[in-house]
Amino acid sequence: MAVQPPPADQRIVIENVAIATVDAADTEYARGHVVILGNTIESVGDGPAPAWLDNVVRRINGEGHLLTPGLVNTHHHFYQWITRGLAQDDILFDWLVALYPTWARIDDELVHAASQGSAAALLKSGCTTASDHHYVFPRDGGDILGASIEAVQELGLRFTALRGSMDRSKKDGGLPPDHAVEELDDILAASEAAVDRYHDASFGSMLHVAIAPCSPFSVSTDLLRQSAELARRKGVRLHTHGSETAEEEQFCKELFGMGPTDYFESVGWLGEDVWMAHCVHMNDSDIAKFAETGTGVAHCPSSNARLAAGIARVPDMLKAGVPVGLGVDGTASNESGELGTELRNALLINRLHGYPTALTGRQALRLGTMGGARVLGRQNEIGSIEVGKLADLALWKIDGIMHSSIADPVAALTFGALPPLAVLFVNGNAVVEKGRLTAVNEDRIARACARAAKELASRPV
Ligand SMILES: [Zn+2]
């Protein structure tokens, strides 16, 4: 059953806590308070909470803790939780070719288990809103999108379900095997049905739907064009993979006579309602086009490292004004599945551009919060601790052995080990307490994921 919103008049008070609000001025409090009213933030500020508050159901002494906005994950493939640790030493194209045959055997039951594994890893690492790009729909796989949505709602994660797709298989010069793709008309009908059935555009929504053909090397030009038309007609966002590897760039040049960004531009895929995963191989003109159009980027440092894809030019994108958020990417190319650790990974990997200010700790935190909120089009609802925004908050314990000798709380989070998560609030509900999920038994999820992985591996190709 889905986690229900808390009573609208109930208050939760967090006091004596270091706060990084990630508002426009990067306001921080060394010892402040936050009051949650129902599912929103009623007040935030220095010192203790106002004394007159009534209906306070919980008071948290945040001594030795850091409060940040909940983290926002902008790119993932939840189903991959049950295909981790495979094709360990491959670049993207070889890794995909190795895994497609296994992925083409998934169904709704396996995706339910895998989605709970992925959502659990995200929640337990401080993530309060996530998107899941699902693009494998075998003919006899059942209601896969519905299964992933139900799985996530049971855990209480705020969600953007991406109805993905593939229609360019080997016979059309693409990468996926012929039996792993769908027909264009079926994809468009299913995408429109998913939006009609699930997309809730209201303030505080727990569920968005966006339309997300997989990548230039697995979808047709017609599908890209018509997906963009459909998304704009329905008022939902567009997502895909872009400029991930040198091989993809080569593919686009050979097939379309231009690089990925120019190709996306030619099919109506640059704009404020679009975000793309990776964007590693971008030249100055590509970055300028993203900045001019407001096209967003999901930066996935661990996955890019795992697949030896390269280092995205995040510092240059930020300087140009490109909206950038963080992504775990699917857990077949980032087995950890934690978003919290991506703050540090983004910071370190971007410094390999060769200068220490390439990404600061506070910029890394901003990427993982407000950056992601903007990329998902939810900057007015989530991503910072401000009055009126949704109560999506992460309370990190930083007085333990791993962090107590770091004076700067934000450095403890972004330079140090991922701190223990004391409480994670999503929509005003404590969905993680002392590092453990509250709505669903974690051990049951672990067992279901183990069974699902074994079952998938045993299915004949
Ligand atoms: Zn991906």
What does the alpha-carbon distance between residue 414 and residue 345 come to, in Å, rounded to a whole number? 9
Q: Does residue 30 surpass a pLDDT of 90?
A: yes
What does the alpha-carbon distance between residue 57 and residue 182 come to, in Å, rounded to a whole number? 51
What is the tally of helices (H) and strands (E) in the chain?
15, 17
The per-residue pLDDT for 90 is 95
Q: Does residue 401 surpass a pLDDT of 80?
A: yes
Protein residues near ligand 1, an ion, with CB under 5 A: 329
The per-residue pLDDT for 178 is 87
Answer for the pair 44, 21: CB distance below 8 angstroms, yes or no.
yes
- Please name which of 453, 397, 393 lies closest in space to residue 425, comparing C-alpha atoms: 393
Count of CB atoms within 10 A of residue 335's CB?
A: 17
What does the alpha-carbon distance between residue 60 and residue 151 come to, in Å, rounded to a whole number? 29
The per-residue pLDDT for 27 is 98
42: CA distance to ligand 1 center in Å?
A: 36
276: CA distance to ligand 1 center in Å?
A: 9
286: CA distance to ligand 1 center in Å?
A: 20
SS3 112: helix
28: CA distance to ligand 1 center in Å?
A: 34
- For 30, the token pair is 């060394």
What does the alpha-carbon distance between residue 10 and residue 429 come to, in Å, rounded to a whole number? 11
55: CA distance to ligand 1 center in Å?
A: 44
445: CA distance to ligand 1 center in Å?
A: 23
165: CA distance to ligand 1 center in Å?
A: 13
77: CA distance to ligand 1 center in Å?
A: 6
SS3 183: coil
* Amino acid letter, residue 223: L
pLDDT band at 13 (very low <50, low <70, confident <90, very high): very high
pLDDT over 70, % of the chain:
100
Count of CB atoms within 10 A of residue 57's CB?
A: 12
What residues contact residue 287 under an 8 Å CB cut-off, 6+ apart?
A: 313, 316, 317, 320, 322
What residues contact residue 47 under an 8 Å CB cut-off, 6+ apart?
A: 31, 32, 33
Mean pLDDT of all residues in 441-461: 95
Dihedral angle sign, alpha carbons of residues 95, 100, 106, 111: positive
- Please name which of 272, 378, 386 lies closest in space to residue 323, comparing C-alpha atoms: 272
What does the alpha-carbon distance between residue 271 and residue 347 come to, in Å, rounded to a whole number? 27
pLDDT in tens, 217-239: 999 999 999 999 999 999 999 99
277: CA distance to ligand 1 center in Å?
A: 6
SS3 433: strand
323: CA distance to ligand 1 center in Å?
A: 18
- Please name which of 199, 221, 202, 223 lies closest in space to residue 212, comparing C-alpha atoms: 223
Rg over alpha carbons for the chain, rounded to the nearest Å, is 21
Residue 294 DSSP label: T
Q: Does residue 125 surpass a pLDDT of 80?
A: yes
The per-residue pLDDT for 334 is 96
Read off φ and ψ for residue 290, nearest 5 degrees: -65, -45
pLDDT band at 143 (very low <50, low <70, confident <90, very high): very high
329: CA distance to ligand 1 center in Å?
A: 5
Q: Is the pTM of this model over 0.95?
A: yes
Q: State the distance between the two ends of the chain, measured CA to CA, in whole angstroms.
A: 34
What does the alpha-carbon distance between residue 94 and residue 97 come to, in Å, rounded to a whole number? 5
300: CA distance to ligand 1 center in Å?
A: 9
Answer for the pair 141, 190: CB distance below 8 angstroms, yes or no.
no
Q: Over the chain, what is the mean pLDDT?
A: 97
The per-residue pLDDT for 316 is 98
62: CA distance to ligand 1 center in Å?
A: 36
The per-residue pLDDT for 107 is 97
Residue 178 DSSP label: G
- For 404, the token pair is 């107590």
The per-residue pLDDT for 461 is 77
CA–chain centroid gap for 33, Å, is 28
Q: Identify the bridge partners of residue 207 per DSSP, sorted by sequence position.
A: 159
Q: Does residue 460 surpass a pLDDT of 90?
A: no
pLDDT band at 179 (very low <50, low <70, confident <90, very high): confident
Answer for the pair 58, 308: CB distance below 8 angstroms, yes or no.
no
Read off φ and ψ for residue 401, nearest 5 degrees: -60, -30
The per-residue pLDDT for 1 is 85
Continuous segment of H or E residues that includes residue 44: strand 40-46
Mean pLDDT of all residues in 135-161: 97
241: CA distance to ligand 1 center in Å?
A: 6
Residue 367 DSSP label: I
Count of CB atoms within 10 A of residue 137's CB?
A: 22
Answer for the pair 240, 277: CB distance below 8 angstroms, yes or no.
yes
pLDDT in tens, 58-111: 999 999 999 999 999 999 999 999 999 999 999 999 999 999 999 999 999 999
